[in-house]
Amino acid sequence: MVLTVQDTSSLNYTTPRATEGLGPISTSKDPSVGMLLHETMAFTPEGIPLGLLDVQCWARDPQEMGKKHRRAQLPIEQKESMKWLNSYRAVHGAQKLCPDTTLVSVGDRESDRYERFLEKLKHPEGPEVLVRCERSRKRKTEQGDDLWEQMEAQPVAGFHGVHIPQRGCQIPREAKLEVRHAPITLQPPKDKGYPPMNVWMVHAIE
């Protein structure tokens, strides 16, 4: 198994003055400018880095700053969110070259996009998908039930310990997580025309 982890970094070039082609990298209240770098790194399950599978780099259009409400109506192909699908497709290309290795496309909460799950549905032979869910999306099951309430109602399947390293004044400690899991049929976003999606949900809480 190989974990292919994708995430976005901000490259801050605010200080150098002789630069062109940069764009905002933060909020409208933060004047910082630079570029965005979205990379996909392959790791062994033990955390050993194997190399980059995909790199995307771009600068935001300053004219689009503060127009988030308008971008929400655009198709994903016209938004920055397309980076998650581009990464998955790059990993899918690598999967074709390594048919005997299970590749897993991993993303944090920002990657919790229904379109990303659809990519897996289109390519069942492609990489597996592991996404940390964004609770604020208020996802529903196909029956209209709240996803989180349904998972919290599942029986505890086991316990898992996680080491929390020292951070500032907080001393290191061991957290004990309750783990629940169940197959779930997700309700698609409204007005998108997407089909329901069957996924496995893992719920871990201290």
Note the pLDDT tens digit of each residue in 92-112: 999 999 999 999 999 999 899
- How high is the pLDDT of residue 106? 96
Give the torsion sign (CA, 87, 203, 198, 104). Answer: positive
Each residue's pLDDT tens digit, 137-159: 778 888 888 888 899 999 999 99
CATH number at 34 reads 3.90.350.10
Q: Give the domain extent around 31.
A: 1-12+21-137
Go through 101-116 and write b for each residue having 16 or more CB atoms within 10 A of its CB, e for each that does not.
Answer: eebbbbbeebbbbbbb
At residue 77, the 3 state secondary structure works out as helix
Share of the chain above pLDDT 70, in %: 96
Can you tell me the mean pLDDT for 155-175? 93
Rounded to 5°, angle at Cα 116 from 48 and 67: 110
Q: Which of 137, 163, 188 is the last residue of a domain?
A: 137
Question: Any residues with CB less than 8 A from the CB of 6 and at least 6 apart, and which?
Answer: 38, 39, 40, 41, 54, 83, 84, 87, 105, 106, 107, 111
Together in a domain, 117 and 184: no
Q: Which of 186, 170, 171, 173 is closest to 131 using CA atoms?
A: 186
Q: Which of 64, 129, 137, 48 is closest to 95 using CA atoms?
A: 129
Together in a domain, 51 and 133: yes
Q: Which helix (H) or strand (E) holds 121?
A: helix 114-122
The DSSP secondary-structure symbol of 167 reads B
